[in-house]
Amino acid sequence: MNTIITALFKKEPQFPSEFEYLFEKYCRKGGGSEEERLNKAMVFRNYYELYMYAFFLGIRKKKSIKWKNRNKDKSTTNAWNVENWKPKQLRDYLVCCVLGEANIPLREYDLMSEKEIANKSSQLMTIIEEYTYGGLSILDKTFQSDKNYFDETFAFTDYVFE
Amino acid sequence: MKITKITLENFLCYSGKDNIIKFTDGINLVLGANGYGKSKLYDAFNWLFFDRITNQKGEPIGTVTLSSNLISKKTIEETTDGEIECKVILELETEKEGFQIERKYSIRKEDEKLFPSEKSDVKVFIKNELEYLPHELPVDSGFLDFVRDNIIPIDILPHIWFQGERGITKAVDTSSGKTLHQVINKISYIEMWQRYVDIADNANNRIKTIFDKEARKSSRKKKTREALYTKIEDLQTDLNKNSKELASRRKDLGSVNQKIDNISLNAEAQEKISNLKLEEEKLTNNFHKVKEELDALIDSADRNLFDSFWVINKTQHSANSYDKLYSDYIYEKQREINEAKENLPKIPRGNPTATHLNKMIIDRHCHVCDRPAPKGSDAYNHIEKLLPENYPSPKPDSREYIHDSEFKKMSQIQIGLLLNIDAFEQESEDLTTNYYKKEDKRVELKEKLENIKDKKSLVLTDAGLENLDSGVQIGKKYKNLSEQSSNLNNTIGRLENSILADNKEKEELEEKYQKSFAGEIDEKLTKQMKFFKSMLTATKHAKESQFLMLVKLLEEKTNQHYENINKESGAFYGEIKFHKNHTEGYTARIHDADDVDVTNNMNTSQILSMQLSILFAILSTNKEKGLNKKYPLIADAPNSSFDPEKRKFLLREMGRTFDQTIIMMFEYLEKDPDRQNRYKVNTKALKALKTEMKGSGIGVNIIHLDIPNNINPKKLQELSITQNHLKL
C-alpha cells in the first residue's frame, strides 16, 4: 500500500504555460554547457530546480494562486516526478512544508484507505502547484518590469535574501 | 585662479539642474566608480573652455559632432516636446576678480525627433559684491583671448589639466627630446638672453659701420689698407658661405641623426614592446585566473541555492507547521500505546500465554513485572525461552503507524536544515563580498590591460613600426645612415675648422687694419669697438650657460618631486637624468646607483611618476612665475597604476605643489554590501588620508559621485548622478 509520501512522489507537478518562457530562459535543458550557463545566466540545472525555487518563493511570500484553467494551460517540468528531485533533503523539506500547509493531523494519513491516500496526494500536489504559481507570478512581474533583471549576477540569490 | 563651484545641467550623464560640486583649496577628491560621471566631469571643464571633449582615444570631438549626445539621455527621454538645454557653469576667482562662465547648448524635440542647434553659446559674468553681472566679450577678440588675458594662459593647460595616463604622456613625452626643450623655453628667460645677444650684435655692427666710415676718410697707406680690407671682405665672404653651408650640413646631420634615432627607437621600441608583452601576458594570466574564480563564485552562489539549501530561507513558518503536526503525531501515538497498555488484560504472574509472550516481545516490555525488556536483555531472552518452539516468530503490526518512519525521517531532515538557516544570509553575504572584491580586481586588471594596449600602440606609433621593413632592410638603412652621418660629421668638422681659422685670420687682419689707423681715428672709437665685440661674445656665452643652468634646475626639481612620490614606498626608483640628444633637446631617463640607464626596466607607475614629477617641476621651477600656486591642477584618473601607498604619496605631493588640486579617481571606493551594484566610500582609508594630509598642512575635500538606488546604471535613459560632499 502507498503511503501519502510515496503517492506524492509519484506525481508530476504542472505549472501554467504562460511561465514557460522563464523555464526556457533560465534553465539548462539536458544539462547545457558551463559556458552557456554563465553567458546566459542559466542558473538552474533542470526545470524542477526553478520549480522548487518558485515554490519556496511562494511559501516565503505567502503567495499561493488558485489555478482555474489547470486542465487547459498546463505545462510540465519535463517529465520529472517529485521522487527524482534533488537534493533529496530539499525535496523532503518541500514535502514537510506541503504537509505543514495542508495542516491535516498526520495520524489521519495512517488511517486512510488506498483511495483516500490517492485523493489526498492530489490535494497536496495542488498546494505545491498553487504556491509555485504564486512564486512564478512574482518572478514574471519582476521580469516584465525589467527584462534584464535576472541577467545580473546573483539576481536569483539576492531574491532569496531580500 | 581658484575654482569654487561647477554646476552641470543635463550635461552628458548629469541629468537635472541640481548637479553642483563645490571645490575648496587643497585637494578635492572626486570619487566615482566606472560609469559614475568622473570623466564626464573632466569633460565639463574641457567643454566649457574649448567647446569640445575628448573621446576614449584622447581625440577631441567638438559640439557640432557631439550634437544631442551632449545632453542627458534621461532628460531627453523625459521631455515630451520643446527646447532641451544642457549647461555647464563654472565659478572661479582670480587674484583680481571673480568670474562665472557659462556654456550652453540646446536641442528641440518634436514628435520624438531631435533638432540640434548649430553651436553652443558661451557667456561671461563678473562678480561684484552681490551678484554676477554680464560681461560683454570684445568684438575683435574671441572667448579664448578673454580666457588667456584674464583667467589662465591657454598654453600651460596641457601641463596642468590632463586625463588618464595617456594625458600625462601627451603632456610630457619623455621619449622625445623636443618636449623637454620646449618646456625649458617655456619656463626660462632664454628669449630674453637671445634679445641681449641681438642687442650686442647690433651695437657691434653699428660701431663697425662708424669705424669704416671714418676709415674711408683717411688717404694714408691707401693701397695697403685697401688690400687688407679686400682680404678681410673676402674672408668674410668665405665665412658667410661656410657658415651657411655649416648650418645646412648641421641641419642635414640633425635629420640623419633623427632617422638613426628612429631606427634605434625601433630597436628600443621592440624591446619596450617585448617588455609590455611580458607584462601583458602576466596580467592576462591573472585576469583569466580572476575571471575563472569569479565564474566559480557565481556558480557556487547558484549551487548554494540548492546544495546548501539557501533557497529555503524564510520558509520556516511552513516547516514549523509540520513540526507541530509531527509532535502531535508522536504524542497521539504514545497516547494510543499507553491506552492499549492500560486495556491489556492482567497477566497472571508466572503463567503468561503464548499470545501474551508474543505481545511482550513486540512491545519489548515485560507486562508481568511491567519493566522494559529490550532485545538482547536477560528479560527479553527469558520471555523468548518461554515461547513454545513451534510458535510463529513475532512480527510487529506496523499497519497502524504506516507513516511513522517516513514522518520521522522528514522531521529529522527538517530539523537538520532549519538548524543552519540563520547562517545562510551571512554565507551569502560573505560570498558576495568576496565576489565584488574579485570583480574589482578584474576591473583593475582589465584597465591595466587596456593601458598596456594603449602603451603598445603609442610605442608603435612613435616608432613608426607599422611601416617597418624587414630587419635586414633596417640594418642596411642603418648602415647607410651611419655612413651619411659620419660624412656629414667630417664635413662639419672641416667647415668648423675652416671657419675657426678664417675667423682667426680675419681678427688678426682686422686688428692690423685698425692699427693702421692709429693716430688718425679717435682712440675712443677703437676702444668702443673692442668693448662691443667682447660684449657680444659674453652674451652668447651667458645664453648658453643660462640654458644649461635651467636644465640642471629642472632636473633637480624633478628629482625632488620624484623622490617625494617614491622614496617612502620602499621600492627602487633611482634618479632622473636629462640626456642631451643628437638634436638640440633633452631626454629624461632613470639611472640606478651605478649610473646605469635603467629606464626600460622600470614599471608603468615609475615612468608615470617621472612624467608627473617633470610636470610638477615645469610649473614649480620658475619661482617668479609660480604657475603651480596660481592655477589648479585638474586630473582625471592619473594614478590607476599606483599602489595605495604610492597613491597617497602622489596626492601629498600634489597637495604640496599646488594650491588647488581637483582629482577624479575610482580608488577609495568599495562595493556597497547594502546596495546591489553600488559603491560606498572607504571611510577608514579616507579618514587616514585626511589625517595624514592634515599633518602636511593640506586640506582634503571629498565628493562622492553616486547613482540613486532605483536606477539601472546600464540604461542611459534612466541615468542620473548625485554628488555627496562628505564630512568625515
Interface predicted TM-score of the whole assembly (ipTM), two decimals: 0.92
- pLDDT tens profile B277-318: 888 888 888 888 888 888 888 888 888 899 889 999 999 999
Across the range B384-392, mean pLDDT stands at: 72
Instruction: For residue B313, give how far its alpha carbon lies from the nearest alpha carbon of chain A (Å).
Output: 7
Distances (CA, A) of A35 to A43, B167, B296: 12, 38, 12
Contact state of A5 with B301 under an 8 Å Cβ cutoff: no
> Is residue A15 predicted with pLDDT exceeding 80?
yes
To which H or E segment does residue B147 belong? Answer: helix B143-150
From residue B417, give the alpha-carbon distance in Å to each of A86, A103, B307, B315, B412. Answer: 15, 20, 11, 11, 9
Quick one: pLDDT at residue B252?
A: 85
pLDDT band for position B398 (50/70/90)?
A: very low
Q: Which residues in A lie closer than 8 A to residue B299 (C-beta atoms)?
A: 34, 37-38
The mean pLDDT value for A25-45 works out to 64
Residue with the larger pLDDT of the pair A140 and A80? A140
pLDDT of residue B396: 46
pLDDT beyond 90 at B48 = yes
Mean pLDDT for B245-270 is 74
Question: Could you report the per-residue pLDDT of A95-136, keeping only the tens digit for each?
Answer: 999 999 999 999 999 888 889 999 999 999 999 999 999 999
Verify whether the Cβ–Cβ distance A87 to B309 is below 8 Å. yes
Is the confidence at residue B268, as pLDDT, over 80? no
State the average pLDDT over residues B251-280: 74
Tell me the range of A103-107, B166-170, B338-342, B528-532 where mean pLDDT is highest.
A103-107
Cα gap B482→B490, rounded to integer Å: 12
What is the average per-residue pLDDT within B459-480? 61
Q: Closest to A154 (Cβ–Cβ): which among B319, B404, B432?
A: B432
Number of residues written out for chain A: 162
Confidence band (pLDDT; 50, 70, 90) for A143? Answer: very high
- The C-alpha atoms of residue B515 and residue B422 are separated, in whole angstroms, by 112
pLDDT at B527: 83
Name the residue among B305, B317, B406 with its Cβ closest to that of A160: B305
pLDDT confidence of residue B454: 80
| Collapsed DSSP state (helix, strand, coil) of residue B18 | coil
Mutate to test the interface with B, among A154, A158, A159, A162 (most CBs of B within 10 A): A154
C-beta of residue B478 within 8 angstroms of C-beta of residue B263: yes
Residue B620 has a CB neighbour count (10 Å cut-off) of 22
Q: Say what the pLDDT of residue B45 is.
A: 94
pLDDT at residue B623 greater than cutoff 60: no
Task: Check CB contact under 8 Å for B318 and A87.
Answer: no
Residue B417 with chain A: CB contacts under 8 Å: 89-90, 93
- A148 to B714: CB separation less than 8 angstroms, yes or no: yes
Cross-chain residue pair A87–B417, CB shorter than 8 Å: no
Q: Residue B42's pLDDT is what?
A: 93
Residue A27: strand, helix, or coil: strand
Q: What is the mean pLDDT of residues B7-27?
A: 93
Q: Out of B400, B417, B435, whose CB is closest to A89?
A: B417
Distance, CA of B107 to CA of B86 (rounded, Å): 9
Residues B270 and B462: beta-carbon distance below 8 Å: no
The chain-wide mean pLDDT, for chain B, equals 83
State whether A5 and B406 contact (CB < 8 Å).
Answer: yes
Task: Label residue B477 by pLDDT band (50, 70, 90).
Answer: confident
Whether the pLDDT of residue B176 is over 60: the answer is: no
Q: What's the grid cell of residue B723?
A: 554628488
Closest Cα in chain A to B315: A60
Q: Is B60 helix (H, G, I), strand (E, B) or coil?
A: strand
Chain B nearest CA to A63, separation (Å): 12
> What is the percentage of chain B residues whose pLDDT exceeds 90?
23
Distance, in Å, from the CA atom of B696 to the CA atom of B653, rounded to the nearest integer, reads 10
Q: Across the interface, which of B298, B307, B328 has its CB nearest the CB of A87?
A: B307
Average pLDDT over residues B238-256: 85
| Distance between A69 CA and the closest CA of chain B, angstroms | 26
Q: Show the beta-strand stretches assigned E in A73-149.
A: 74-76
B434 or B141: whose pLDDT is higher?
B434
What single string gives the DSSP state of each residue in B416-427? HHHHHHHHHHHH
Which segments of B571-624 does DSSP mark as H helices, in order?
604-621
Interchain CB distance below 8 Å, B311 and A52: yes
The HSE-up count of residue B296 (CA atoms within 13 Å, CB side) is 8
How many C-beta atoms lie closer than 10 Å to residue B398's C-beta?
10
How high is the pLDDT of residue B475?
A: 65
